[in-house]
Structure 1
């Protein structure tokens, strides 16, 4: 039995990518998502906005649903609709936080619930159960060349924008008051960062669906906190874990005919649970080991 299991995994881990073009496209899509979502997730964690990322992933649903209503399962229509809806929710949540006593996270939670219900309602009324499942959970194994170019383009844009605003973004994470005092344009940096979050969720939505896209962004970033202390290290570890999660999820999906999106996110969850135990920066077992009195 163990021999058959090993053979099945070996065939899926190596042969599937050599024999099937759709598996190679899915793997490249996972690599692009890892490069784009890795740094975005890290800064969401550093800024204590992890649940905001979850809210934003659902906020794109009504826009994608309206795109579906107008153009069917059209990549440009659903992507544009999702991006506009995500930005609109981000701006409305910020506006409500500034004009009322509600905090921004409470505003995001309210708009996310409204968006999720509205999006599901639109798709259900004007599509089938299959269409709803496609929107919610994605189909990374059906990624075509157009979707691959979109995901790769968003990933490349994300890297370029982060390179331009890396320093002020890091400063805003740890000392936003200093950035405002120096006239660093904290508001503009915040809006640009939210736009990157929405863009990468749109990219993840094409492959993993609205419910799973945030998993590729947040789980590797949370795991990286258990392996690295400095921001560059956090970003590098998050990217690697995101890609390995994508690769492992695709292998499991191919070997046992599992849904690819949930398999990828569950693989990221496995990395997170293992890191909780053995991660050198705050993991359970390292904290139980005796340390020198000079160690922090």
Structure 2
């Protein structure tokens, strides 16, 4: 048991770095995924994750695989698309999901093209799928800092963020915190996707955010429990994915997301809140 669960982290420094990275991602992305689910923005997270790609690619063209250049570029691109899609939806008859889909396709194609102009296939794979087993001190500090900022902001603004997620119109009618809360939420989404981008790549970053949240929804209706369970599932998926990757030799990023996908599948089947098998169990008359 020690050889399978503990030894990889005890013996190898790169595994310990990856462990800290995925735990930090789980702490920050878990609650954000729950808020996105409450807002019915699950697919929007995927669009914003891909929107990061052209900004990161421009940073790559300017400075190579430089952490700060790619981070700043990704943040600028993510904010531009997240805010631009909403503004376009309000200025035209296009729905926001359609605007995000258009931005998503354009961003993905543009980002791949820009990276291909200067980089190799290895660089492209690095950008698309991340390198969670090759996190250096600077990248790990960035991911942990993003998780810390996320938790502090959520602790301070939790009530307006939840209210804006559940009933934005009511919040705007009783408070001026509606628009600022929405901007703060978008900022947290972009920040966590940028952190996930460095570890899991632009194609998989949103998986650490959304799969644990939707899996947790099948186990509880309580919001506090939902957030806590989402963090637990995200963190456990990261740890188990790293172990699967280490022992089987498969890429670590896809392994982590597939483990999270397995948690989602089990939740769909066995979750007491809307799961398939519990719904087949006969209930007493008038039982909820």
TM range (shorter): over 0.9
Distance 1:30 1:77 in 2: 22
How far did 1:169 drift? Answer: 1.6
- Aligned counterpart, 2:62: 70
Is residue 148 from structure 1 mapped to residue 150 from structure 2 by the alignment? Answer: no
- Aligned counterpart, 1:13: 5
SS at match of 2:74: helix
The answer to whether the 8 A contact 1:39-1:238 is kept is yes
Distance 1:13 1:28 in 2: 15
Is residue 191 from structure 1 mapped to residue 212 from structure 2 by the alignment? Answer: no
Is residue 26 from structure 1 mapped to residue 15 from structure 2 by the alignment? Answer: no
Q: Aligned pair count?
A: 288
Is residue 130 from structure 1 mapped to residue 127 from structure 2 by the alignment? Answer: no
- Aligned counterpart, 2:167: 175
How far did 1:285 drift? Answer: 1.1
Which shows bigger deviation, 172-181 or 195-204?
A: 172-181
- Unpaired runs of 5+ residues, structure 2, are none
How big is each residue's C-alpha offset from its partner over 1:46-76, in whole Å with a ceiling of 9 and x where there is no partner?
1100000000000000000011111111111
Distance 2:274 2:176 in 1: 33
- Aligned counterpart, 1:164: 156
Distance 1:87 1:12 in 2: 41
Distance 1:103 1:184 in 2: 25
How far did 1:280 drift? Answer: 1.1
Which ranges of 4 or more aligned residues in structure 1 deviate by more than 4 Å?
none
- Aligned counterpart, 2:237: 245
How far did 1:256 drift? Answer: 1.2
Is residue 231 from structure 1 mapped to residue 223 from structure 2 by the alignment? Answer: yes
The answer to whether the 8 A contact 1:12-1:254 is kept is no
- Aligned counterpart, 1:278: 270
User: Which residue of 45, 57, 65 maps to 2:49?
Assistant: 57
How far did 1:294 drift? Answer: 4.5
The TM-score with structure 1 as length reference comes to 0.95
Which shows bigger deviation, 278-287 or 168-177?
A: 168-177
Q: How does 1:59-98 map to 2 (within 5 A)?
A: 59-98=51-90
How far did 1:206 drift? Answer: 0.6
- Unpaired runs of 5+ residues, structure 1, are 1-6
Distance 2:229 2:28 in 1: 13
Computed over aligned residues only, the root mean square deviation of the Cα atoms, in angstroms, reads 1.1
Distance 1:78 1:12 in 2: 35
Distance 1:216 1:163 in 2: 21
